[in-house]
Structure 1
């Protein structure tokens, strides 16, 4: 048997605040990891970790992006025991999303419809809990109580198959405390770095 980890958070970003205002849910974002250290998380979220767009299936890190800047974010960590076969199928599916991330976008309309309990599958578009749900269901790791397009992050806290390992502030999450975070980056340095990266990509595209 192996373990897949589900991390639920409420980061306090604009989207998180809107979802919280509409639903009152304790958690507004879901990510998944395949190691106990949570060295890499998979979800459908901000692709560069900081700005709202571009967004879609991408990797997250506890010491980067929103997770780095939101120490007081409420979070909960859950463990799901699965067979070796289901574990590797889920990991392969998540990595497949990452390898082709440029083909996917964030499912904003689907997120709104999810809040209204309306099922709607949009090709190549995912919101966070829909992404996690499809990876788990398609790999045979977990039978969902409802369609993936209707799954909220909070729904995972209610599933009997998941064991709660931690609940509290993100800053006190053991896996995050074990990391050497260094000095908190300023917003100026963050956006300067993003601008430089964008210019580098544009320059590369001119010579391809």
Structure 2
């Protein structure tokens, strides 16, 4: 068996505050990693520390950039155990996406429509939970209750298959896991 990690966060960024205002969800962002060290960790997110746009597929670091500057962000770390075949299928899809990383953009329209439960799939466009959901659904790791374009980070709190490893803030997560 192999392990995939999901990190849910809620920052004080404008986008996160807007999502929280609309949803009142505990978490407004999700990232995926195939490593216990959480490095590399991927999502569809801001490309630069200080500006929400441009955004796209990004390797997010917990020890530099946005998370370093915002280390008090609340977070929850989950893991799911999967077969080696499903793990490899998920990694292969991620690798394929990363090969064309520059072609992928942030699905702002999809994010807004998700709030209204209106599915809207755009080729080469993702918001964070749509990106993670696409990988997990494509590799048959989780049976999603709805289309990837309708999944929110908080929806992942409902999956019994996920095991919570940590709840707290980014700084303490980094310290407790010895991430460097």
Give the TM-score, by structure 1 length. 0.83
Extract unaligned runs of 5+ from structure 2.
none
Runs of 4+ in 1 over 3 A off after TM superposition: 174-177
Residue 99 (str. 1) matches residue 99 (str. 2): yes
Q: Greater CA deviation, 95-104 or 2-11?
A: 95-104
Q: Distance in 2 between matches of 1:166 and 1:123?
A: 34
Higher RCO (C-alpha 8 Å, min separation 6): 2
Extract unaligned runs of 5+ from structure 1.
181-208
Q: Deviations over 1:65-87 (max 9, x none)?
A: 21111111110000011110110
CA RMSD of aligned residues (A): 1.4
Structure 1's 50 and 89: CA in aligned 2 closer, same or farther, altered over 3 A? farther
Q: Greater CA deviation, 50-59 or 170-179?
A: 170-179
Structure 1's 177 and 3: CA in aligned 2 closer, same or farther, altered over 3 A? closer
Q: Distance in 2 between matches of 1:98 and 1:62?
A: 19
8 Å CA contact retained: 2:9, 2:74: yes
After superposition, residues 53-202 of structure 1 pair within 5 angstroms as: 53-174=53-174, 178-180=178-180
Larger strand share, 1 or 2? 2
Give the TM-score, by structure 2 length. 0.95
Q: Deviations over 1:79-135 (max 9, x none)?
A: 011110110111121122122111110000000000111111111110000000000
What is the CA-CA distance between 1:143 and the residue it aligns to? 1.2
8 Å CA contact retained: 2:37, 2:177: no
8 Å CA contact retained: 1:49, 1:60: no
